[in-house]
Structure 1
């Protein structure tokens, strides 16, 4: 489906070449030419440099030197030298003005040909003698081309039968007859042609075999040994060249008044051909570096031509027909796909070629045009996909076609119309009408201008733009008006060759060979700079006023920014860029940022695949051999479906999603509310109940455009509908019921199932056995069976068994037994079997007279809470159930809840003990008063309360209980002393006249003991604090001497993570092990990797204890003053003050102040010091 495009061109005139007898192209812009006795070397940017002049050279002296002429020469690249053949038989090696006779021949050296690897040189002397030498001019073989015979590779008959008995397929029986090859006549060309295979392993020689008067081809290996001789062929000409892909030899051939380019395998057997116009004569066959382009240099009576051909599916097509005004002396392909040629008037042509596509704009029938000589082969891919070389429409004109043009997509005219430019610059228009092309009667002719016409672009109905390259590297942009019949053409000079012309909203964009983009403004009729691309680009497209360009480095640019790499071809389908990569992938790149830009669509394609066009949701790719492959990327399919949904074409969208296996939720996820409003239209379009059922079956609450297809949908967010399934199914159910409930029974059943309305589903299924079968398809048979039982519909349950694979022996007896039961007991049995325990209990209670059975059912199924709601509080049944419930709670040690339930049962006195167990002694005592228990029982309860408070070390509460309930002040004082509430103890003793010397002494002794314990605790904490502070300084010094504070950070992380895993994984270690690991990590042991933060944390905890010491010291100090124990009070106060001083002294050591610029990598625990209050409210001045 591809054509050839002259990417850029340049023509330079070299005056020195006019007098040359022979010219050879060395490299890009460098050549050499010869006269009779001299060879010159020339760079287009410099002056000619003499290589050698035999008539004036002092180095090469021989007899009759004045008559010696240069007969042939070859450039020897490895030594940057020349091998020159002379008329006296000498072969000279010329390097840096050094002339050396490398070899002597007996006759004139008429041709010299080096192998591609420059390790072999073929010398043709006289008429028929060949000498093969090495690069050091050592003879490998010397022979007469006519007389040499096969000594290797002889053909052997392996018994495949004669030609007459072989099968020849479509060629028919006539092919079986061995036809005699007749000689070519007296006018046959007798010249000898030599060509090397590109790998330098073989070379071929074409010559005239005068015995049979036929040209023959002999193939030799690199040592000059004859390997094969061609089969006898008539009409073979003296044009010979090996394909660069080395598998076939090409030559021209006249057969039966037809002209062919034929191919031959290395074994000498012909391997196919293709026809070319018979009005020309082939002079040379030229293959580019990968054999994708064949250039035929040919002539006729008046002109010289270059024909450029390419092959698709073994069909060769003439893509370009160039007329060259003067005779071509030499031509050569270079590795950059440029053909360089020189004409006899001294013009040097540089023609860069690339593949291109002729496609119509989006919104048309997606035409792809293929040029084949005088014909244009058209295929509308929107309608039909036809692999080349086949086609749908063929347009034929009188002259070879040069370009095929379509209007850009921003023009109002029919985008299917076509414009054809021929090689003689005539312009033909075809109008697409009623699915066929109608030719415009008016044919326009571009005025004759000397130069190369290229880059034709149809801007609008009245404007065509093209480029013109003139001799001297002069380049123009030409603008022609169609309504003016091309009489007046506006030229704009540009500095560099033009490589692309494309559409722009203001006119046309022109790309130059340096990547610069110029904008021709149609309204202002001027050309201004527009943008600089990073490099020269071969393919450009415009979308959203952005330029997307594929550079020669295979990078895809968005304006001047690289967005993709390794791209072989691309095509735009808004908002996606479809690209075939060099690593065999087809990708769809969204030009807008998406939720997950990394989740890019891609799929593997065959190596070398190129994108031809994009139509609808299909990407058409052409494989290297020419076949087409159609791929439907998921993003394009979703994009097409969304466009159809927006246009309310629900049937087409449904069919597309179904075929491409895309979830049907897309139908309603784009705009759920609009879809609900269009439900009636949706049903009318789709019609088929089975399709609607399929849609209902796939419905889910999640929005697929925001989740599953988020990366393939161009919008970043779509409004989601809460309870989507419920809302859509409810609306759809109502709509279907109104339209035709019988016709849409299956979709209705799907809606009922989605809404979990099995009652409605079973009701509808009972009307028709087919409905029931469909319902069984939607719902698991066990689930449906249970649903029918839950509705107590035994008849439907029996139908389900009969229409399913359930074993009747297992289910039918149970249903028969249910039919015989009392109504409520039947319901109880069904609900109990289905696991509906609460409903079963309710039905069992409704049976009446079954309380014992009810109680057992409640106890067995732990239905206490629910069962209490089914009885009144005054009923004995309620109280009995409450008693059993409370017993269960008491056994589970839930004493508080047990007490509450006991209080509502028939055994309320048990609530007293439960309250007491729960620690609610006031509720327990209050309930004992409510139950009017006798004094002995109450006394026993009070004794239990006091014992419980004492055993749980709640001495202060015990003191209050003794004072207010037992009225025992002496006991209350004792409990106050145990609670270390000495102030209240003194108060009670004084107020109740209990204070005597013994009691006062006891209180004082306890107070002094407490003071001594405080002093001891404070000293201990102070010593520990100071010790930790010293160790902290040592640890920080050790860390400072290391290269980094946390060299073992990775080990630390691994150990901490392992601790985390211990804490979170109950399957591997116990909680005890996890706690053990935690203690290890926060251990104060020297050398622990977390020793520093552990020390700081411990010091923090000590400071928190200091804050608690303040209140205790203040209270004890007041009592010590009261007891006149000033010395102990002073000691207590100074001890705490010393502790406070120590804390403030070491605070800066524990939490140093970091510089703002210093990188902090410490634990957060090291950076958050406690706020220590420096108040003195706790101190008594009298004790200082």
Structure 2
């Protein structure tokens, strides 16, 4: 349904040059032609003409002139010579031909192969070669193969496709009249290439008839056509595809015949609007467009442009040429665009650049779509009915070919039709019908009613709209860029349309996007399409129109129509209907659009709560209401399934959706709980509980409406398993309703009826226990079991332990109940098994079980609580001491020294034990203070001071060992790096000297690639190895043996740990130095401080060498000085890739006393 909008760019030259053109050639960016005076004229970029004299090189008739755009030269082929002119240097060379008496020449699309046909119908394939030199390029032809036009084609094998006569015939045509066959005059063969250069077709003459023969590029004949009546010489092989277009005479008309590449007829159509005899035709290299040039006896020419769609060839444009301005040749350039094409026409006056835009002529106000087809226009009223082309709602016919339709949507809705004779007809659109209100007049006097165009920047669609009193221009250019006021905001847009306050466009990602036109969206410099609404469409689909009901009509690449909807627009429609309080229309529209019913609430919960009555009334029937409420969910659909449709200018309500559901439920129950029972049940199932839904059914069951109860139970069974429904029914304590549920669940009466009979004679508490037990509600059953007198303590203990309901039993009873102690014992055991001994002791103490409570407090090491219990239990002193000593020993093992010392000192009279514990744990100051408190001088001299001296000596040895190891490892690391750098430099010298070395791809060759895993970690290795191999690999990374693969990073890791230990010794040195004040101890303390300070100074000096800038930056570089340092860095844990933090390297332990 696309039409063609034409704009033209004219390039005028000296009229005398174009009067006597003998041969011509047009390329994508240049045009060249020969004059009768053998002058070669070249118009580069179709502007200034450059004239080159070729008279001295031309001795016979010219067969072809060809502009070779890739080589920027002109080829002139005569009957016996080849002439090439380089346009840069204006130098001409004459090359030898493979044969004489050449009749036809044809270049392949890549300009690398030349097909030569001579008078004897020999065919030559020549390879064209160009050698670039400083002075002038050298050209030469090399003969590749030779063939003859009479070479036989191979027999085709048709497997599974019927006979030869049924191949690719298309639909059977019924000929209305007999074709009069006219003998065809002899003319030389014509050649046309396929776009990929793999095949070409030759149209040749035999016995007053013409045939087609297809060859491959190696001159192997592939296919030949049968006799076709009155076939003409002109032929065009489609650039992309398998079609070959030819022309034939069909009595007084012209016919266009489309062959497959196997030379069988694919389709044909009568070109009744083509006047005169067809002289030439050309396929567009990419699109389904065919241009046909015909000429009458009065030297009046017609260039007709046909567009193929929906199995029909539409005549979209017809350009007229008079005897004062005759058409010489024309050429389609490939713009690689589905919406835009360019036709270059060389006339006897100028060069015309015709820019064709494939557009949809539509009126969004009236819904009319116009499709031009020769002298008639097919109008389709999209707003009333979607009619697939080539059918239409109505047709307007004219005396001349129609070239353009223009709709003017405004206060006066009009349609203007431009004819090929430059006249215009205007119509008024009323109720989707056209009324002519102006006589035809020559309003368009320009060439072929085309609009003047002076640049290659063409807008395929443009519209200006006003937003907040500001104007914005939206356009779509030939690069498929969506532009707003000159700024490109989206790429790869196939088609677009602005409808009211929405922008819709189809994208190369096979999606349709819809965007609200507001300031926030328009002001964005570049759109992130992820933030906008989209839906999938077919690849290449374009927007044709939008109906009054907001249905979007797409035209697909095959030409057929498809109607889709847009959720974003539909939601906005619903919002407007709800704002207008039109609930009946809202429900109907939502059912039509199949929108989620949660929109009614989520768009505005407050509004919905205020109009619940109208909502229920709009539902009209119970079934509709049931379907609506069944879809209500706790989630906000505008945040989930419709998140792309959310209007960012509107926020969300703070109302909890469950509150809204509760109000709906209350309203439905208030109106008619029995009639609306299914709706009530659906809401309770989804938003409350299964038990509440069954309770509602049970209430109606007691009233006696069994039919609605059964429907409701069936609805429940759609959402819950039978076992769950039956179990919940037990908890309602209604044996009649339980029997009804069993029946609805199609259970066997022989199974459930005896069970129900046994329950009838039980008392209330016993009955509730048994029903909860049968309903698998063991927590609730426990509450009744501990109050039931029918069971002994053994059964109660077994039931509670089996179902782990100790907490429920304990919470259900008061201390005065007979089973409280039993429940407390069970709960305390439950807590103790989970190491909650304090809580267990409290539970038992509350129940009066003091001895049992004492055991749990002892396990909890709660010695304060034990002291309180000792008074209530009247335990003797020895028993108390044993318990407390056991607790104190356990406190020591848990490093709770202060509490243990208190127990030893004050409650167990074990002061020596307290001093011993403090000394063993190196709490020397506290130990000495405690010893002096009780005047234990011998303990100080024989125990504490020797321990201090021993620890001091051990600390000095440890610091010395750490310093020695650090010096050793840092020296090893520096030496290892120097060796690696040296090896890498040697390998570089070997490569530069071409020395063969099989070890070039060793471990060093992959340093950069391995280090690049900084961004992706080293998990790729582990993904291909077993866990055992990974463990081995990790061990290698910490192996400090010399010569290891990961020796460097193992050293760095160990140095990091040594540094942390060295600086961690500071506080220990500070503490031990200030305990003893004698001269010997002071000297030893000073030695400790100086030793540690010297080692730490050495460490600080070495850190920049270990973690140098090259290692820290890890920039990928082929330099050996870098590779030798950063190798294996990516295998090192992130923690060790940088030195310890300054917080770990503090030296606040140092004091002035020992400095």
Query: Which bracket does the TM-score occupy, shorter chain normalised?
Result: 0.7 to 0.9
Match of 2:638 in 1: 705
| Match of residue 329 from structure 2 | 331
Residue 313 (structure 2) aligns with: 316
- Cα deviation digits, residues 534-591 of structure 1 (max 9, x gap): xxxxxxxxx9836443434x5555666666555554556776653242xx83353869
Partner of 2:33: 32
Structure 1 residue matching 2:698: 3-state secondary structure? helix
Distance 1:579 1:978, change over 3 A: closer
Instruction: Tell me how far 1:224 sits from its aligned partner.
Output: 13
The CA distance in 1 between the partners of 2:791 and 2:490, in whole Å, is 80
d(CA) in 2 for partners of 1:880, 1:720: 52
Distance 2:1055 2:155 in 1: 92
Q: In the TM superposition, what are the counterparts of 1:333-348 in structure 2 within 5 Å?
A: 333-336=331-334, 337-344=341-348, 346-348=349-351
Residues 107-146 of structure 1 mapped to structure 2, 5 A cutoff: 114=106, 119-122=114-117
Aligned twin of 1:840: 781
Q: How far did residue 829 of structure 1 move?
A: 0.7
Range 979-988 or range 303-312, more displaced: 979-988
CA–CA separation in structure 2 for the residues paired with 1:927 and 1:545 = 87
Distance change (3 Å), C-alpha of 1:1019 and 1:1056: farther
**CA–CA distance in structure 1, aligned partners of residues 669 and 816 of structure 2:** 51
- What are the Cα deviations for residues 461-520 of structure 1, in whole angstroms up to 9, with x where unaligned? xxxxxx346xxxxx6xxxxxxxxxxxxxxxxxxx8897668443599xxxxxxxxxxxxx
Aligned pairs for 1:845-924 (under 5 A) are 845-848=786-789, 850=791, 852=793, 853-854=795-796, 857-858=799-800, 860-875=802-817, 877-883=819-825, 885-886=827-828, 894-924=836-866
Q: CA deviation at 1:974?
A: 7.2
Alpha-carbon offset, residue 750 of structure 1? 0.9
Q: Deviations over 1:799-825 (max 9, x none)?
A: 122122334344333222222322221
Task: Indicate which of 719, 725, 729 corresponds to 2:661.
Answer: 729
The answer to whether 1:1026 aligns with 2:969 is: no
Give distance in 1, aligned partners of 2:819 and 2:266.
110
Q: How many residues align?
A: 1010
Tell me, what secondary structure is at the counterpart of 1:293?
Answer: strand
Counterpart of 2:735 (choices 794, 812, 817) is 794
Q: Is contact 1:289-1:333 (8 Å) kept? A: no
Paired position in structure 2 for 1:419? 416
Cα deviation digits, residues 222-273 of structure 1 (max 9, x gap): 789999686574xx58674345366445225343x65544556776879532
**Equivalent residue number for residue 388 of structure 2:** 387
Alignment check: 8 A CA contact 2:797 2:826 kept: no
Would you say the 8 A contact 1:6–1:353 is kept in 2? Answer: yes
Spell out, residue by residue over 1:593-637, the C-alpha distance to the aligned partner (whole angstroms, 9 max, x if none).
899965888887666554434557755444444333445576676
SS at structure 2 position matched to 1:359: strand
Q: After TM superposition, give the deviation of residue 1023 of structure 1 in Å.
A: 2.7
**What corresponds to 2:616 in structure 1?**
683
* In structure 2, distance between residues paired with 1:48 and 1:858: 108
User: Does the aligned pair in 2 maintain the 1:328–1:341 contact within 8 Å?
Assistant: no
Q: Does 1:579 align with 2:506?
A: yes
SS at match of 1:1139: helix
The residue aligned with 2:1080 is 1131
Call closer, same or farther: CA 1:1083–1:926 in 2, change over 3 Å. Answer: farther
374-383 or 637-646: bigger deviation: 637-646
SS of 2:333's equivalent?
coil
Alpha-carbon RMSD across the aligned residues, in angstroms, is 5.4
Cα displacement (A) at 1:828: 0.5
Q: State the shift of 1:762 in Å.
A: 2.0
Return the match for 1:1096 from 1059, 1076, 1096.
1059
Q: Secondary structure at the match of 2:77?
A: strand
User: Equivalent residue of 1:395, what SS?
Assistant: strand
CA deviation map 1:1090-1134 (0-9, x unaligned): 112211222233223234435xx43x54xxxxxxxxxxx222232
* Matched-pair contact (CA < 8 Å) for 2:829–2:840: yes
Asked if the contact 2:62/2:78 (under 8 Å) is kept, the reply is: yes
Instruction: Please report how far the alpha carbon of residue 849 of structure 1 lies from its aligned counterpart in structure 2 after TM superposition.
Output: 6.3
- The 3 A distance-change label for structure 1 pair 718 and 300 is farther
Partner of 1:511: none
2:920 equivalent to 1:930: no
- Hey, what's the Cα distance between the residues in 2 that align with 1:785 and 1:977? 69
Secondary structure, in 3 states, of the residue corresponding to 2:768?
Answer: helix
**Relative to structure 1, is the Cα distance of residues 395 and 183 closer, same or farther in structure 2, using a 3 angstrom cutoff?**
closer
Structure-2 change in CA distance of 1:830 and 1:352 (3 Å): same
Partner of residue 1126, structure 1: none
Aligned to 1:217: 210
CA spacing shift, 1:1068–1:392, aligned 2, 3 Å: same
What is the DSSP-based 3-state SS (H/G/I as helix, E as strand, rest coil) of the residue aligned with 1:424?
coil
The answer as to whether partners of 2:188 and 2:204 remain within 8 angstroms in 1 is yes
Task: Give the corresponding residue for 2:1095.
Answer: 1146
Structure 1 length-normalised TM: 0.72
Matched, 1:443 2:439: yes
Q: Give 1:319 deviation, angstroms.
A: 0.9
Specify the SS of the correspondent of 1:828.
Answer: helix
Task: Indicate the larger mover: 825-834 or 733-742.
Answer: 733-742
Counterpart residue number, 1:551: 478
353 and 193 in structure 1: CA distance in 2 versus 1, 3 angstrom threshold: farther
SS in 2 for 1:703: coil
Query: Could you tell me how far apart the structure 1 residues matched to 2:83 and 2:900 are?
Result: 125
User: In 2, Cα distance between the equivalents of 1:956 and 1:150?
Assistant: 112
Task: Give the CA deviation at 1:831.
Answer: 1.5
Q: Distance in 2 between matches of 1:875 and 1:760?
A: 32
How far apart, in 2, do the equivalents of 1:279 and 1:906 lie?
Answer: 119
Any conservation in 1 of the 2:258–2:266 contact (CA below 8 Å)?
yes
> What are structure 2's unaligned runs of at least 5 residues?
86-91, 127-140, 335-340, 920-926, 985-1003, 1114-1136
Shift of 1:1144: 3.1
Change (3 A) 1:406 1:882: same
Indicate yes or no: 2:884 matched with 1:945.
yes
Q: Is the 8 A contact 2:327 2:346 kept in 1?
A: yes
Distance in 2 (CA, whole Å) between partners of 1:180 and 1:759 is 83
Aligned pair in 2 of structure 1 residues 208, 639: CA closer, same or farther (>3 Å)? farther
Q: CA 1:867/1:329 → structure 2, altered by over 3 Å: closer, same or farther?
A: closer
Match of 2:718, SS?
helix
Q: Is the 8 A contact 2:343 2:354 kept in 1?
A: yes
CA contact 1:845–1:851 (8 Å) conserved in 2? no
Partner secondary structure for residue 1144 of structure 2: coil
Answer yes or no: is the 8 Å Cα contact 1:30–1:42 preserved in 2: yes
Cα displacement string for residues 49-106 of structure 1 (whole angstroms, at most 9, x for unaligned residues): 35444xxx5x788xxxxxxxx7654226679443346xxxxx5555566679979999
- What is the TM-score normalised by the length of structure 2? 0.74
Q: Which residue of structure 2 aligns with residue 811 of structure 1?
A: 752
Cα deviation digits, residues 835-889 of structure 1 (max 9, x gap): 4334323323444465635455445545444434444434554345435555666
Larger radius of gyration: 1
> Residue 193 of structure 2: which of 177, 192, 198 is its match?
198
Secondary structure of the 1:443 match is strand
Larger mean Cα displacement after TM superposition, 40-49 or 693-702: 40-49
CA–CA separation in structure 1 for the residues paired with 2:605 and 2:309: 49
Report if aligned partners of 1:263, 1:270 keep a CA contact under 8 Å in 2: yes
Unaligned runs of 5+ in 1: 62-69, 86-90, 144-148, 210-215, 455-466, 470-474, 476-494, 508-522, 524-542, 990-998, 1062-1066, 1118-1128
Counterpart CA distance in 1 for 2:741 and 2:1064 is 72
On the 8 A contact 1:358/1:369 being kept in 2, the answer is yes
Mark the CA change 1:694 to 1:1135 in structure 2 (over 3 Å): closer, same or farther.
Answer: farther
